[in-house]
């Protein structure tokens, strides 16, 4: 027997005076009769096989809250084993809370009695009648609407009091231990009533009231923060969760965050782009009047199951877009300026970690690559924790002008040399439009992302290059050990690389080798605190000096070898030799 057929037969077995149509059945309400009401309402059960609420019942007289078959069985005293879809191994999510002896149930009843004609008329504008207000125990204290937040044990310990025309004017009343986000689920009991069914999660109590008037089940949270604190375990036995937030970016982000935790069963309501900011279900109910139900039904059908994945079509389009970018001039401009380097690595792409002994020229090498790229209008962020902004600028101007930093500081004679300096100054000024030096000792990955977004927007570029000098001096605020801090940063840099199309040049320290020196043949193990470097680096390089840092060496004769020790796409080996261009703070790549 099909599940839908079993549900229909279940209700037929316990209801009387049934009138069945294509999408629903109605019958005398057994709960009205149990309560001895003079007027027995009709119980309506949804049997729309194409809908999400198949099997949902509700009394048109609002004598009991509606729900799905298991809730019907509980109210009727039916053994759950006889209910279609019952799982004997299920364990409903119940929070472990020691509830206090004192509650505010009596106060809530008093507030219910104070609902004035003016307040009732306000709700009526959105089509909400007294029966729904009574079902959810809505009250009024003379100035504020009182929304009782009833807990799992059926008692109310705290209520949210909201000024009718200013939702930002509110306060919590009752026991302070229930003022926290973890207790902010309005109409919490609907979670159990909707086992094996569907329900709504709304932002704002009045938005939920508009849905309840239509006969839909649901819960509400007061704001985005409460939504994000909502435990996904609440929905373990609910088949479909419709998330309806107000029309603004913060609410949408919160909805997507919760949907990601709930998983495939979450469906997001989308507001048309033409609607005003903060537009809500309440406003829709006021605007649509009798057409409100049709509008909500349309939104239900248009809602989409939340997926953390792009559609196959979007994924294919994204692939083609990236191919087009990589064949463009902007991608080709991501080169170091050193021909042999670019030939060996096909430019500066991915995460490139360059290790070297102290004073081997790592910073000079990185500054030269960074400023050469910026001169070609590639946006470069240089995170410096070694030299200071002024030194980086002086050394760049020295390389461009072919004058020592001493000559630049002391001034030079007029004539050809002075003209060279003037031209270099102009070139350096042009470089600064694409080159930013950051010395922020409180840097974190989110700040770095904002920096990247800014410089990309400012330069209108698809790509950004980030230089970090050095990896071992990045701020490790939340880590007591440097190695765990480095590994955490590398995880973040990988994410930034993939999400924002960023290339990295990262300077790393090396571990001392045999004899407490740095003369070992380069390999992955020479990186200090290597940890995840071997897994994160697209290219791991070592700048190895061919001179004794403690010996007497003519500065003009200092030469380094650049080794590629590991790569995802390229063969390891010697990349090139570089001679220090003394005293101009640069390197010259030597032809073999």
Q: Flag whether pLDDT at 398 surpasses 90.
A: yes
Report pLDDT for 447.
Answer: 93
State the angle between helix axes of 205-214 and 281-288 in degrees (0 to 180), rounded to the nearest 10: 50
The average confidence (pLDDT) of the chain is 89
Report pLDDT for 516.
Answer: 56
**CA 227, CA 220: separation in Å to the nearest integer?**
9
CB 194 within 8 A of CB 217: yes
The sign of the dihedral angle between the CA atoms of 525, 526, 532, 533 is negative
Tally of helices (H runs) and strands (E runs) in the chain: 22, 22
> pLDDT digit string (tens) for 53-90?
999 999 998 889 999 999 999 999 999 999 998 888 87
Q: Which CATH architecture has domain 3-82?
A: Alpha-Beta Complex (3.90)
Neighbours of 225 (CB within 10 A): 12
> pLDDT digit string (tens) for 170-213?
999 999 999 988 899 999 999 999 999 999 999 999 999 999 99
**CA 407, CA 421: separation in Å to the nearest integer?**
10
Report pLDDT for 531.
Answer: 63
CB 364 within 8 A of CB 405: no
Q: Flag whether pLDDT at 493 surpasses 80.
A: yes
Report pLDDT for 515.
Answer: 55
Buried (b) or exposed (e) across 264-273, using 16+ Cβ within 10 A?
Answer: ebbbbbebee
Q: Flag whether pLDDT at 559 surpasses 70.
A: yes
> Average pLDDT, stretch 277-288?
94
**CA 241, CA 198: separation in Å to the nearest integer?**
6
Report pLDDT for 326.
Answer: 78
**Domain assignments of the chain as residue spans, ordered by start:** 3-82, 105-305, 329-590
Report pLDDT for 591.
Answer: 84
**CA 317, CA 539: separation in Å to the nearest integer?**
28
240 or 549: which leads in pLDDT: 240
CA-CA distances (angstroms) from residue 304 to 48, 218, 248?
19, 18, 18
Q: Flag whether pLDDT at 552 surpasses 70.
A: no
**CA 149, CA 59: separation in Å to the nearest integer?**
23
Q: Flag whether pLDDT at 289 surpasses 80.
A: yes
Do the domains 105-305 and 3-82 match in fold? no
- Across the beta sheet with 42-46, the strand order is 19-20, 24-28, 42-46, 57-59
Assign domain 105-305 to a CATH class. alpha beta
> pLDDT digit string (tens) for 72-82?
999 999 999 99
Buried (b) or exposed (e) across 364-379, using 16+ Cβ within 10 A?
Answer: bbbbbbbbbbbbeebb
> Average pLDDT, stretch 534-540?
88
> pLDDT digit string (tens) for 145-159?
999 999 988 999 999
> pLDDT digit string (tens) for 20-52?
888 899 999 999 988 777 677 899 999 998 889
Q: Which of 585, 531, 539 is nearest to 564 (CA)?
A: 539
> pTM here?
0.59
**CA 493, CA 489: separation in Å to the nearest integer?**
6
> pLDDT digit string (tens) for 416-449?
566 788 899 999 999 999 999 999 888 999 999 9
Q: Could you check whether the bond before residue 470 is cis, i.e. omega within 30 degrees of 0?
A: yes
3-state secondary structure of 453: helix
Report pLDDT for 38.
Answer: 67
List residues bridging with 148 in a β-sheet. 159
Q: Which of 167, 231, 196 is nearest to 85 (CA)?
A: 196
The sign of the dihedral angle between the CA atoms of 211, 213, 218, 224 is positive
Report pLDDT for 479.
Answer: 52
End-to-end CA distance of the chain: 81
Report pLDDT for 182.
Answer: 86
Task: Give DSSP secondary structure letters for 65-124.
Answer: --B-HHHHHHHHT--GGGSTT--TT-----------S---HHHHHHHHHT--HHHHHHHH
Confidence band, pLDDT 50/70/90 cuts, at residue 578? very high
Q: Which CATH architecture has domain 329-590?
A: 3-Layer(aba) Sandwich (3.40)
Torsion angle, alpha carbons of 191, 194, 197, 201, to 10: -40
**CA 381, CA 582: separation in Å to the nearest integer?**
26
Beta strands (DSSP E) in 1-49 are 19-20, 24-28, 42-46
Residues in the chain: 592
Task: Give DSSP secondary structure letters for 562-590.
Answer: EEEEEESSS--EEEEEEEE-TTSS-EEEE
Beta strands (DSSP E) in 204-322 are 218-221, 240-244, 266-268, 304-305
């Amino acid at each position: 027997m099909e599940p839908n057929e079993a549900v229909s037969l279940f209700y037929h077995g316990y209801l009387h005076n049934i009138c069945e149509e294509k999408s629903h059945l109605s019958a005398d309400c057994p709960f009205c009769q149990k309560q001895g009401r003079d007027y027995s309402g009709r119980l309506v059960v949804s049997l729309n096989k194409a809908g999400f609420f198949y099997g949902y019942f509700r009394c048109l007289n609002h004598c009991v809250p509606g729900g799905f078959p298991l809730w019907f069985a509980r109210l009727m005293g039916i053994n759950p084993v006889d209910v279609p879809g019952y799982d004997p191994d299920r364990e409903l999510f119940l929070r472990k809370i020691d509830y206090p002896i004192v509650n505010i149930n009596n106060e809530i009843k008093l507030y219910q009695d104070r609902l004035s004609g003016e307040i009732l008329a306000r709700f009526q504008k959105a089509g909400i009648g007294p029966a729904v207000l009574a079902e959810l125990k809505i009250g009024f204290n003379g100035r504020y609407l009182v929304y009782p937040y009833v807990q799992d044990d059926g008692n109310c310990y705290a209520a949210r009091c909201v000024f009718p025309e200013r939702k930002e004017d509110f306060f919590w009343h009752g026991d302070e231990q229930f003022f926290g986000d973890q207790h902010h689920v309005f109409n919490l009991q609907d979670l159990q009533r909707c086992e094996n069914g569907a329900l709504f999660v709304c932002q704002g109590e009045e938005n939920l009231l508009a849905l309840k008037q239509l006969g839909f089940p649901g819960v509400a949270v007061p704001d985005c923060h409460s939504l994000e604190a909502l435990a996904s375990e609440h929905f373990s036995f609910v088949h479909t969760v419709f998330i309806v937030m107000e029309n603004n970016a913060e609410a949408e982000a919160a909805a997507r965050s919760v949907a990601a935790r709930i998983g495939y069963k979450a469906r997001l309501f989308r507001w048309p782009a033409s609607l005003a900011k903060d537009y809500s279900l309440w406003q829709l109910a006021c605007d649509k009047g009798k057409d409100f139900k049709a509008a909500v039904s349309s939104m239900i059908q248009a809602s989409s199951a939340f997926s953390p994945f792009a559609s196959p079509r979007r994924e294919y389009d994204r692939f083609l877009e990236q191919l087009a970018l990589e064949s463009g001039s902007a991608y080709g401009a991501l080169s170091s300026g050193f021909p042999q380097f670019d030939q060996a690595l096909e430019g500066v792409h991915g995460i490139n970690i360059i290790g070297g002994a102290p004073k081997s020229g790592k910073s000079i090498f990185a500054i030269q690559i960074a400023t050469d790229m910026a001169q070609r209008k590639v946006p470069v962020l240089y995170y410096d924790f070694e030299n200071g902004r002024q030194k980086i600028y002086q050394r760049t101007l020295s390389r461009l002008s072919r004058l020592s930093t001493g000559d630049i500081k002391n001034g030079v004679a007029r004539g050809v040399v002075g003209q060279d300096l003037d031209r270099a100054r102009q070139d350096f000024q042009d470089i600064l439009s694409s080159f930013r030096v950051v010395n922020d000792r409180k840097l974190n990955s989110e700040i770095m992302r904002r920096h990247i977004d800014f410089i990309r927007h400012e330069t209108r570029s698809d790509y950004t290059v980030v230089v970090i000098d050095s990896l071992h001096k990045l701020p490790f605020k939340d880590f007591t050990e440097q190695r765990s801090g480095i590994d955490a940063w590398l995880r973040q840099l990988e994410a930034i690389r993939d999400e924002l199309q960023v290339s990295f040049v990262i300077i790393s320290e090396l571990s001392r080798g045999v004899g407490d020196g740095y003369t070992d043949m380069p390999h992955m193990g020479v990186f200090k605190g290597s940890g995840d470097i071997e897994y994160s680096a697209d290219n791991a390089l070592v700048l190895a000096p061919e001179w004794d840092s403690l010996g007497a060496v003519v500065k003009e004769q200092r030469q380094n070898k650049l080794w590629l020790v590991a790569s995802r796409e390229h063969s390891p080996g010697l990349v090139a030799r570089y001679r220090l261009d003394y005293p101009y703070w640069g390197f010259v790549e030597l032809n073999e």
